[in-house]
Chains A and B, each alone.
Chain A
Amino acid sequence: MAKRIRVLLAKLGLDSHTIGVTVIAKALRDAGMEVIYSGLKQTPEMVVRTAIQEDVDVVGLSSLSAAHMSHFSRVLELLRAEGASDKLVLGGGVIPERDAEKLRAMGVAAVFTMGATTTEIIEFIERWWTQREAQ
């Protein structure tokens, strides 16, 4: 049995746009990953509980509202508190570059905004996975 990359995709905050996350979910599945979609309006607490119960490798957070800074930092803080900071945290959505900069400084490994392709996301995850497995 081969190992499979497990990814949690979560929508933080109050926005209810699902098309972007659905496209990404399908692309990751087609790249051979197991994708857990936990739905809309997730709180950082819910995201972290889910990430731990599902033992995912990657947490993809999407935010289309301006609340991303506080939500994302809370997720990172909770992951650290739970001893689960080995997970790759990615951000996506409508995020201005100056915010993206801050998020990366906080520990979000990459921020994919409008215009990013699914191929870029997949390659980023696969590169990280290969490096981690090699360790």
Chain B
Amino acid sequence: MSERARDAAARLRAGDTAALARAIRWLEDGDALGARVLREVAGAPERAWRIGVTGPAGAGKSTLVDALITELRRRGQRVGVLAVDPSSPFSGGALLGDRLRMQRHTLDPGVFIRSMATRGRMGGLASATHGAAILVDAAGFDVVLIETVGVGQDELDVAELAHTTVVVSVPGLGDEVQALKAGLFEVADVHALNKADLPGADSAERNLRALLDLETQRREGEPRWAPPLVRTVAARGDGVPALLDACDAHRVHLAASGEGERRAATRAEQLFYALLREQAPQRLLARATDLDRTIAALRAGEIDAFAAAEAVLAGGGLPAL
């Protein structure tokens, strides 16, 4: 198996997109090969800039990502995209339609687009998205765009993964701005007011700016970064160069202020816990002895669930009856 993983990692590093796509699949499916490939490429310094694109459903995230790809390609950057959509909690299936808006980049060899379903993970990303971003980086892409599901107030995982988080909002949602206050607003490094040609764009901008002033005050004492607000009409590409310039300014800020290093340390710690959360249950159960007997005793009422769980957590099998 380790030979297969080494081979996959080598092909992926050489820019083989089929190998990249397959390795991401392994991560999604929980195939041990995925973790092995990750370990093969881990340790290499991060090269790619990760830009998260998040916001409520209908804000135009996919269209904005499409426009960002175009602009990044114009600037000579190779672009990987991870576009996340929700899995149905009922069937476990998913409709992944983000790349519909990015069709024109399909044949560009400098663009890799991968749709991912959340597969039960809350937080706006899939469990495998973090690993996938590392693999896309290893495959030689300069920028990784990570598009979240349409988020509410507490699906904020993207901020842990991205270097720069773009929060997309749109005019005309009224209370949307209020909703943005909680959670989403705090993770925004850059704001995009998309569909800025719609009626109500000016008042939406005023509302956002008022909130931004409060936010800037709140952040006093931290390394100074006032999240800029950029108006965009993604469908026409308007404002997209300015949006990318704002992301770039944030990148420079992270490097110059030391904030980037602080965030990288936090990211490493969060990834560590996320990996444990994901893998610990399976490993624990795999290690437990007499699991069948424990379950049978539990179901028969001979032991209680607390005692059974404690026994497995302690690394043993069936507790003494």
Contacts and interface: CB of A to CB of B under 8 A. Distances in A.
Interface of A: 1-4, 6, 25-26, 28-39, 42, 45-46, 49-50, 52-55, 82-84
Given A52-B18, A53-B113, A54-B115, A32 B92 contact: yes
A86 to B, nearest CB: 11
Secondary structure class of chain A's binding surface, majority of residues: mixed
Interface in B83-126: 87-88, 90-97, 99-100, 103, 106-107, 112-115, 117, 119
Contacts of B117: 4, 34
Interface stretch (B21-29, B63-71, B223-231, B240-248): B21-29
Secondary structure class of chain B's binding surface, majority of residues: mixed
23 contacts: A1-B29, A1-B30, A3-B29, A25-B95, A28-B93, A29-B88, A29-B95, A30-B88, A32-B91, A33-B93, A34-B87, A34-B94, A34-B117, A35-B95, A36-B97, A38-B106, A52-B21, A53-B17, A54-B21, A54-B99, A54-B114, A55-B25, A82-B18
Given A29-B93, A33-B93, A45-B107, 8 more contacts: A29-B91, A31-B93, A36-B99, A37-B97, A37-B100, A46-B107, A50-B106, A82-B18
Interface string B4-31: 0000000000000110011011001110
B127 interface: yes
Nearest to B96: A36
Interface of B: 17-18, 21-22, 24-25, 28-30, 87-88, 90-97, 99-100, 103, 106-107, 112-115, 117, 119, 127
Q: Which of A28, A36, A42, A84 has the most CB of B within 10 A?
A: A36
A4 B92 contact: yes
Given A49-B107, A55-B24, A34 B112 contact: no
A33 B21 CA distance: 18
A73 B113 CA distance: 25
A6 B128 CA distance: 15
B95 A50 contact: no
Contacts of A6: 25
A51 B42 CA distance: 27
B18 A34 contact: no
Contacts of A2: 29-30, 92
B184 to A, nearest CB: 27
Contacts of B99: 36, 38, 50, 54
Given A36-B99, A38-B100, A52 B93 contact: no
